[in-house]
Structure formats: C-alpha cells, structure tokens
Amino acid sequence: MPRQARRKSESGIYHIMLRGINRQVIFEDDEDSLKFLETLKNYKAISGYKIFAYCLMSNHIHLLLKVEKEDIDLIVKRIASSYVYWYNWKYKRNGHLFQDRFKSEPVEDEIYFLTVLRYIHQNPIKAGLSKAIDGYKFSSYNEYVKTTVMVDTDFCFGIINKEQFIDFHLENNDDVCLEIEDDNFRLTDDEAKEIIRKISKCRTITNFQNLSIDKRDKYLKVLRNQGLSIRQISRLTGVSFNVVRKF
C-alpha cells in the first residue's frame, strides 16, 4: 500500500517528530543532545528555517519549524543525516538511527500553534521525566522565559506576552498532537503486552485494574513514553481512553 503524501502547510509551519529506529534510544548522554541542538542551530543558517520549539526525548524528537528557503523533507534529511554521521562515528556503529520516514503535521492557525508549543514543552512532564517544565534541559521552554539561543520567539510573543505564555504552559490540559499511531510506528499488541508486563508486573487486565491509582498513573506515563498508543493502552489495560490520554 503506497504511503500517503505529506500534508503541505500553507503557513509553512510544521510540527515534526523523528523517532529512533525500532524505538532505539538516540540520545545516550548530554553530549548527544547538545550535538543535536548544535546541528539544528547550524542548519538553521544553511536551510533558512525558523525554530519555534524543540524537545529532545530519549528515543524521539519534537520540532516546531517554519520552512522558508527549503522544503521540509530536505531540511529534516540534512539535520538527521548530519547527526547520524556524528552518532555513528562516536559509537563506532553503522546504519540507520531514525525511522525511515519522519512524521509531520501542518500548523495553520495561532490557536493550534500555541497548543503544539505547549504540547512539545510539556512532553517531559507527561512522560514523568521532569516535575517542573523549566527543569528539563533539552526543550526550548527556557529560551522563551530565560535566555534565547536559537529559537525565534517573536512570533509567539506577537500572539501572547511572556506572562501569558508561562500561565498557558502551566495549565492542565488534554492536548494530543501528532500521536504515534500510524503503521510506521505502531507496536503490535503482543509487543505492547510484553512491555506492559515488564513495566507493571501485571499479567492480566484485572491485575492492572487492581493497582492503586498512584501506581497505575505512574505506569501509564511510562507506557506512553515507550510508544504505546492511547487506544492500545486502553484496550490492553482496561483503563478508559480519557484517563490514558492525560498522559
């Protein structure tokens, strides 16, 4: 079955996600993350894009970019190829590091732009990697509230001011943007069941449903970060879709 054509953004703004092949970790240490950010900054000058947001997770990356000079496929190819070349050299490995096709969605209006911005910056919180949104080192949040290094903050601050930006990011929400639920990324149910067993030690749906709420919620956060889709987690744990989507 042929792949669907990538949806073109009339605004030139895209929410992009790159993921490690076979869910592989792509950032082993801080040096790796810093190298990717250096690459992102270097190609900004070469490819002529604007950077509105980024967040580096252990096995995937979220970017919010505006293309101007080059198209999105060439931009992502340049960034990914440069980082993979360095990563393979550092770890003395060969071959692919990222899934063969990155995901993207167009961002066409200001309301959704702000939603995606918050979704990207809250990724580490919802994954249980940081308790405070400004405590995660490898997202662009602090470029908005502290020191700007490479992010183009003017567009956002033309919509809301800094105080509104902070308040908006601290709001509880059920934002869901660019979910990992297509055929290129989806885990089989057998794979997902094995991950659930390893993480929760629960052998059955009933075992999972009998967990305390605190333990259940802790495991749901981890499962979402492992790449299980909302519907898959709901189906295999018996926890309602609306509860799972909060993580």
**Long-range contacts for 210-218 (Cβ within 8 Å, ≥24 apart)?**
217/247, 218/128
Q: What is the pLDDT of residue 186?
A: 60
Q: Which of 209, 245, 213, 246 is nearest to 230 (CA)?
A: 245
Contact assessment for residue 98 and residue 20, using Cβ atoms and an 8 Å cutoff: yes
- Please report the pLDDT score of residue 183 as a whole number: 42
pLDDT of the residue at 163: 96
3 state SS for 146-183 = CCCCCCCCHHHHCCCCHHHHHHHHHCCCCCCCCCCCCC
pLDDT in tens, 90-126: 999 888 899 878 999 999 999 999 999 999 999 998 8
Taking CA atoms, 12 is separated from 106, 117, 147, 170, in Å, by 8, 15, 26, 28
Q: What is residue 28's DSSP assignment?
A: -
Statement: the pTM of the whole predicted model exceeds 0.75: no
Q: Output the pLDDT for position 45.
A: 92
Residue 207 CB contacts under 8 Å (≥ 6 apart), including other chains: 200
> For residue 135, what is the DSSP state?
G
Cβ-contact 141, 156 below 8 angstroms? no
Other beta carbons within 10 angstroms of residue 112's beta carbon come to: 17
Domains in the chain, ordered, with CATH? 13-170 (3.30.70.1290), 189-244 (no CATH)
Which residues touch 144 (CB under 8 Å, ≥6 apart)? 151, 153, 156, 162, 165
Mean of pLDDT values over 86-90: 93
User: What pLDDT does 129 receive?
Assistant: 85
Our CA angle for 64, 27, 105, nearest 5°, is: 25
Q: Which residues pair with 98 in a beta bridge?
A: 20
